[in-house]
Chains A and B, each alone.
Chain A
Amino acid sequence: MNDADRERQSAARAIRVDLQLIADMIEPRTRVLDVGCGDGALLEYLTNFKQVDGRGIELSTAGVNACISRGLSVIQGDADTDLKDYPDGAFDYVILGNTLQAMLAPHEVLGHMMRIGRRAIVSFPNFAFWRVRLYFLFGGRMPISGLMPHHWYDTPNIHLCSIKDFVALCGQMGFRVERGLSLDSTRRARPIGAGFLTANLLGEQAVFLLTK
């Protein structure tokens, strides 16, 4: 590989830390559905570097058009309503990156993801992160942070949860946590072990790989 190639590759590789964590969980040459794929950065990365057969769903017109323009297979749709049309087991992985909290019915979306895919990968902001707790405890107002920049009245994040909440829901729905990672405020990833209570306090964001 020459310098130009390396440079191009490192530039192409530069995706957000949480997206990189998701990408690292995915086996090469698999079938992947990215729900809420935005402008397609993760899908493009997975297509180029993991040779996946990737599809995306995105709500925003701008996002969809950007994805298709870069050659990705993406449909304009709503995870809350459009996942039901996919057949069982159509994908190896179904990804929901930082979108779970914006769903009308997160448990139903999760159920569809696990029906459509053999595995699901979900990332979300942890509402029990210590800074969020302090913000609410001392500020007495709905927390605003880099990951949750909206006011209570205009936020798309209508179903925020904590790591503890999420793990409980997975248990309730019969999904197994194969891997869990928490990201602290310096974007450093730590595995979420059986004692997820530390992660629940120190993790600003979490990424889970689920199986049935």
Chain B
Amino acid sequence: MRDSAGTMTATTSFNAGQPGDPQAVSRPMPGHQVRLGRATPLRLDCGVELADFAVAYQTYGRLNDARSNAILICHALTGDQYVAAPHPVTGKDGWWHMMVGPGKVLDTDRYFIICPNILGGCMGTIGPKEINPATGKPWGLSFPVISVADMVRAQAMLLDHLGVENLFAVTGGSMGGMQVLEWASLYPQRVFAAVPIATAAHHSAQNIAFHEVGRQAIMADPDWHGGDYQAHGVRPHRGLSVARMAAHITYLSEKALQEKFGRKLQDRAAVSWGFDADFQVESYLRHQGSTFVDRFDANSYLYITRAMDYFDLAKRHGGVLAHAFRGTPTRFCLISFTSDWLYPTGESRKIMHALNAVAANVSFAEIVSDNGHDSFLLDEPEFHRVFEGFLDGAAEHRGLPRKNGR
């Protein structure tokens, strides 16, 4: 995978490191990292000001001379900036490698792709596991509570730093889609096209409820130590693993679970009359939980789920979602999946209605899939076709080359 070149790489790299810098991240990771908010701090929705904070990001492809081909990818709750490159911790392909690359939907031959780790994350951007310069200790629960809008404002600061004034497109699924909506609402003039996928303009009671289960699981783990586990040299991996297991169920459809596992037993002919993982589905979930804890920070999970729960785009606009998009020049393409019960089609439809009410340029497609919420991460040819068609059409309007130079 090619990386950005020339002026775009004039940023601090993880690998280069900053010798003697006490604020350097705990371990070297591939990609870029930059410190933002030195001159003007980021004022968070909670009122706290963040100054001189790190943002880690990956780029793919090249920014054209007109600086008009940049696409920002916003990652989801447990995603990170390794959208196409192999993950430095797990060694697995990037979470959207199917989508990002030469000739792919997000074509790195034509577009300059930027994917930052979100505010509150744990892959190099400032978050609760990083050191608070005021105390010299990890932030833990003293880290300010952040919002989806805060994540977006930090991304805007990153783009300022990169010299990318306008985005050709901003896209993302799930919480990434929430950031896309915030982008279109906060910086309409900077976003030519927006593709929010499998998302919602606010968290429902059910969404909040599932997140609360996850948070309680983490906080019930004695190794959590009131969020101060780093000082104790431990990690609340059992709690975080249970949180991941519960959340993972919400990412899949009942049909997909039933077809994949049914009541099949795991490496045994009969039930054990005990509490081992008798069923394949139990074994699968335990595996999902245990691999997750290797690459994710428990406090980050608390902060990011909270940001999602607080997300309510209409609320900031007098309770009318349409007001969030008044006069928007952005071209939207909303995409949902039939079997997604976490952010069901009805939620995308609400966004569509709001955009119609302000006569915005909006496309909306519901993709037929049995793969539940996770469909946006999987090989769904119809989804990819629609996404690519929309981007191609938008590229033509933006004066960018279509696929195959058309």
Cβ-based interface call for B5 (8 A): no
- Distance between Cα atoms of A85 and B357 in the complex (Å): 5
Q: Which residues of A line the B interface, CB within 8 A?
A: 53, 55, 61, 64-65, 67-77, 82, 85-87, 90
Once the chains are docked, how many angstroms separate the CA of A86 from the CA of B352? 11
> Beyond A68-B390, A69-B386, is A76–B362 a contact (Cβ under 8 Å)?
no
CB-CB under 8 A from A74, the residues of chain B are 363-364
Distance between B64 CB and nearest chain A CB, rounded to angstroms: 20
User: Are B333 and A68 neighbours in the complex by a CB distance under 8 Å?
Assistant: yes
Q: Assess the A65–B364 pair: CB atoms within 8 A.
A: no
Option from A55, A65, A71, A86 in Cβ contact (under 8 Å) with B365? A65
Could you tell me if A61 and B368 are in contact, using CB atoms closer than 8 angstroms?
A: yes
What B residues does A71 contact at CB under 8 A? 389-390, 392-394, 396
Q: Which of A73, A82, A86 contacts B363 (CB 8 A)?
A: A73
* B331-A77 in contact (CB<8A): no
A69-B389, A73-B331, A75-B352 known; 17 other A-B pairs, CB under 8 Å?
A64-B363, A65-B365, A65-B382, A68-B333, A68-B393, A70-B389, A71-B393, A71-B396, A73-B361, A73-B362, A75-B364, A76-B364, A76-B366, A77-B349, A77-B352, A85-B353, A86-B356
A73 to B349, CA, bound (A): 15
B357 in complex: contacting residue of A53, A69, A70, A86, CB < 8 Å: A86
| Contact across chains for A61 and B365 when beta carbons are under 8 A apart | yes
Q: B359 within 8 Å of A by Cβ?
A: yes
Q: How far is the CA of A63 from the CA of B392 in the complex (A)?
A: 18
Chain B residues contacting A76 (CB-CB under 8 Å) are 364-366
Nearest-Cβ distance from residue B181 to partner chain A, whole angstroms: 16
Interface residues of B in 331-390 (CB under 8 A from A): 331, 333-334, 349, 352-353, 356-359, 361-368, 382, 385-386, 388-390
Contacts of A69 on B, CB cut-off 8 Å? 385-386, 388-390
B364 touches A72 (CB 8 A): no
Given the complex of chains A and B, what is the CA–CA distance between A74 and B331 in angstroms?
A: 11
Q: Which 10 A-B pairs have the closest CB atoms?
A: A71-B393, A69-B389, A75-B364, A90-B359, A85-B356, A85-B353, A68-B386, A68-B363, A73-B363, A65-B386
Q: Interface SS of chain A: helix, strand, loop or mixed?
A: mixed
A70 touches B393 (CB 8 A): yes
Tell me the nearest residue of chain A to B336, going by C-beta.
A76
Chain A neighbourhood of B366, CB < 8 A: 61, 64, 76
A82 — which chain B residues lie within 8 A by C-beta? 353, 356
Q: Are B364 and A77 in contact, CB atoms less than 8 angstroms apart?
A: yes
Query: Quick one: given A71-B389, A71-B390, A72-B393, are A64 and B357 in contact (CB under 8 Å)?
Result: no
Q: How far is the CA of A85 from the CA of B352 in the complex (A)?
A: 9
Contact A87 B357, beta carbon cutoff 8 Å = yes
A-B contact pairs, 16 of them (CB 8 A): A64-B366, A65-B367, A65-B386, A69-B385, A70-B389, A71-B390, A71-B396, A72-B363, A74-B363, A74-B364, A75-B334, A77-B364, A82-B356, A86-B357, A86-B359, A87-B357
Tell me, rounded to whole Å, the shortest Cβ–Cβ distance linking B349 to chain A: 8
Chain B residue at smallest Cβ distance from A83: B356
- Chain B residues closer than 8 Å to A73, beta-carbon distance: 331, 361-363, 393
A138 vs B333: C-alpha distance when bound (angstroms): 52
Q: Are A64 and B365 in contact (CB under 8 A)?
A: yes
Tell whether A75 pairs with B356 under 8 Å between CB atoms, given A64-B365, A68-B333.
Answer: yes
Nearest A residue to B335 via CB reads: A68
CB distance from A179 to the nearest CB of B (A): 26
Cα–Cα distance between A53 and B329 once the two chains are bound (Å): 13
Nearest chain A residue, comparing its CB with the CB of B364: A75
Per the bound structure, the CA–CA distance linking A65 and B394 in Å amounts to 15
Within B52-67, which residues are at the interface with A (CB < 8 Å)? none
> Which A residues are in CB contact (< 8 Å) with B368?
61
Residues from chain B with a CB closer than 8 A to the CB of A75 are: 334, 352, 356, 362-364
Q: How far is the CA of A171 from the CA of B361 in the complex (A)?
A: 33
- With both chains docked as a complex, state the minimum distance between the C-beta of A2 and any C-beta of chain B, in angstroms: 18
> How near does chain A come to B361, taking the closest CB pair, in angstroms?
5
- Are A87 and B352 touching (Cβ within 8 A)? no
Q: Which residues of B contact A90 (CB under 8 A)?
A: 359
| Nearest B-chain residue to A66, judged by Cβ | B389
CB distance from B190 to the nearest CB of A (A): 20
Q: How far is the CA of A71 from the CA of B393 in the complex (A)?
A: 4
In the complex, chain A residues whose CB is within 8 Å of the CB of B390: 68-69, 71
B292 to chain A, nearest CB (A): 33
A73 to B388, CA, bound (A): 13
A13 CA to B394 CA, complexed, in Å: 23
